[in-house]
Amino acid sequence: MASLKEIRTRISSVKTTRQVTSAMKMVSAAKLKKAQDAIIHFRPYADKLHGIMQTLSSSLEDMEESVYTLQREPDNVLVVLVTSNRGLCGGFNSSISKIAIEMVEARYSRQLRQKKLSFLTVGKQGEKYLKARNYPVGEQANGLFEDLSYESVSVFAQKLMDDFTSGKYDRIELVYNEFKNAAVQFCRTEQFLPVEQESGNKSVGNQNFIFEPSMEEIVHELIPHSLKIQLFKAFLDSNAAEHGARMTAMHKATDNASELIKELTLTFNKARQTAITNEILEVTNGAEALNG
């Protein structure tokens, strides 16, 4: 059995760890609240915009005229992987990175072998994960999460759209965590560009919509806007999911530390009891010997 001193040192070190994890939990909880509010207020807007886009595309017979819907052979593929900049959030980063790699191996293994596929990481953890496994990380935009605003995401989205229209990439995939609640995230894989056209939309297709100023202008204005909104929503989702995952992970860590402390204290008390018993035995034995 470990000595009393050893156990005492371990207890105090576990206590320090518990303090750290519980502080991190508090911080994450506060950040989660903010991030959660942002995504929850943003979702109706994004959903409604998506609805309008669907109505629009169903009334449009030839959407091909738009540069963003142009379907090309996917020769050059870009995968945007959204992770977090900091670790200590359970399986948040590794599971999403794993999904991204699985997706790439399943659908774009040819492009990967021909070195025509590259990753763009938003979040240092994803970059680390991919580089450690020798996947090509072309660019990174890890700074986006430091100051997450619609303006900065909009600039980033514009860059992606320009890369697509200029023909640098023929397809852009987006992989991110969707926020469900503090403990649950869903891994999402979406095709960002070209815009996928919904096929099964007979219900709204027969309505004769009035378009002002004109259908072309609306399409030209709405598609880029909707893409930016889609990207911004993905980032908000991932941000909220990250804080949720970290909070849950830290909560578990705190619980584990408490459990460990309980066990160690028990061991410590047992050892102390044994030491006292031994001492008393020695004293009484000594006294017995003198009397005898």
Partner 1 sequence: MFLEIITPEKKLFSGEVKLIKLPGAQGGFEILTKHAPIISTLVKGQIKVIDSADETSFIDISGGVIESQDDKIIVLAEAH
Binding-site ranges for partner 1 (CB under 8 A): 41-42, 44-45, 48-49, 51-52, 55-56, 150, 204, 207-213, 217-218, 221-222, 229, 232
φ/ψ region of 226 (left if φ > 0, alpha if ψ in -120 to 50, else beta) reads alpha
- Provide the minimum distance between the beta carbon of 226 and partner 1 in the complex, in angstroms, as a whole number: 10
The structure tokens 């919904």 sit at: 198
Q: Which is nearer to partner 1, 103 or 204 (CB)?
A: 204
The Cα-based distances of 113 to 106, 119, 122, 156 in angstroms read 12, 14, 23, 27
Q: Minimal CA–CA distance to 240: which of 187, 180, 154?
A: 180
Q: Which is nearer to partner 1, 54 or 140 (CB)?
A: 54
> Cα(120)–Cα(171) distance, rounded to whole angstroms?
13
Is residue 117 within 8 A of residue 133, CB to CB? The reply is: no
- Provide the minimum distance between the beta carbon of 62 and partner 1 in the complex, in angstroms, as a whole number: 17
Radius of gyration of the chain (CA): 29
> Cα(275)–Cα(144) distance, rounded to whole angstroms?
59
Q: Which is nearer to partner 1, 130 or 227 (CB)?
A: 227
Q: Which is nearer to partner 1, 196 or 217 (CB)?
A: 217
- Provide the minimum distance between the beta carbon of 165 and partner 1 in the complex, in angstroms, as a whole number: 21
- Provide the minimum distance between the beta carbon of 55 and partner 1 in the complex, in angstroms, as a whole number: 6
Q: Which is nearer to partner 1, 8 or 43 (CB)?
A: 43
- Provide the minimum distance between the beta carbon of 126 and partner 1 in the complex, in angstroms, as a whole number: 26
The Cα-based distances of 60 to 51, 161, 268 in angstroms read 14, 22, 75
